[in-house]
Amino acid sequence: MKAPKFSYLRAGSVEHVLELLARYGEDAAILAGGQSLLPALNLRLSQPKLLIDINRLDRLGGVELGNDHIRIGALTRHAEIAASPLILQHLPLLAEAMPHVAHPAVRNRGTFGGSIALADPAAELPACALALQARLVLLSAAGRREIAAAEFFTGLYRTARRPDELLVEAQIPLKGKAKTVSVFMELARRHGDFALAGLATELLLADGRIAEARLAYFGSDERPVLAGAVSAAITGKALDPTLAEAAVAALAGDLSPIDNAQASASMRLHLQRVLTRRALALALTRSRQLGRAA
């Protein structure tokens, strides 16, 4: 199929984008990496009247270290994130997730902000944003707005972003001297395919116990899910081989898996339980390695 007719404008500045979004609203679409938008156009799943190209807006890219957070610009390519020493040092969960994002050709063009704004339930980066407590910064002609990742993803390809807003960056808080262990895992039919089940985990440890647990599941529900019941079941407990069963027992209270041609709801829940056991086992190994290195 061919894309529907639309007008095209290359934005000269962020202010220019905001002016166009204020004028066109839902009739406009943002072109960044285009790895999801262009197929959607060709399938006529998306039919905007105006395509706004933001690829020349360098201020929207880059990974930067702030006083208490890492800033990731919305236009930062997946490959840039994967190669960033700052990401590897301060956000190992994100570094571990990047090789799972599609294939090299997609990672060379696809953008961090595009993945977050699309909110594909099988995408890796929205789940990482949840687990890492990211704050998402949006701009409009009316001003600036910050939204916690936990409040941003509202449903299947739905977010709290308004039609006149542009996602410009994510701010991910640094953990300082806190002892953290992170694990990223997913299950797909082939590497690079959309995940049937996935888990982004970050644990804060104190005196051998879990002081805070953030487990973000993706690929099974209509949006990434931060598992509150699982967190409550394991917080305050020692990170040991018996912990996984408490987490697995609580998991059904957090997830409402979808049922489609790729996998049944029961299979997705089973796969998420498998990942939970594997992730906590690996977290235990990594915590012991941290202890030996200290």
Q: Is residue 2 part of a domain?
A: no
pLDDT of residue 290: 86
Domain harbouring 200, CATH code: 3.30.390.50
pLDDT of residue 294: 59
Q: Order of strands across the sheet with 50-53?
A: 7-10, 50-53, 28-31
16 and 29 share one domain: yes
Residue 180: closest CA among 283, 88, 98: 283
74 three-class SS: coil
48 and 86 share one domain: no
Residue 55: closest CA among 7, 6, 10: 10
Domain coverage including residue 79: 58-173
Q: Is residue 266 part of a domain?
A: yes
Q: Report the first-to-last Cα separation within the chain, whole angstroms.
A: 58
- Tell me the residue type at 102: A
Query: Could you give the CA distance from residue 133 to residue 142 in angstroms, rounded to a whole number?
Result: 25
Domain harbouring 79, CATH code: 3.30.465.10
Q: Is residue 1 part of a domain?
A: no
45 and 67 share one domain: no
67 and 132 share one domain: yes
pLDDT of residue 50: 97
Tell me 111's DSSP state: B
159 and 99 share one domain: yes
> 0.85 exceeded by the pTM?
yes
Domain total of the chain: 3
Query: Could you give the CA distance from residue 199 to residue 268 in angstroms, rounded to a whole number?
Result: 12
pLDDT of residue 293: 64
163 and 63 share one domain: yes
pLDDT of residue 60: 98
79 and 38 share one domain: no
Per-residue pLDDT of the chain (294 residues; tens, 9 = 90+): 789 999 999 999 999 999 999 999 999 999 999 999 999 999 999 999 999 999 999 999 999 999 999 999 999 999 999 999 999 999 999 999 999 999 999 999 999 999 999 999 999 999 999 999 999 999 999 999 999 999 999 999 999 999 999 999 999 999 888 899 999 999 999 988 889 999 999 999 998 899 999 999 999 999 999 999 999 999 999 999 999 999 999 999 999 999 998 999 999 999 999 999 999 999 999 999 987 765
284 and 191 share one domain: yes
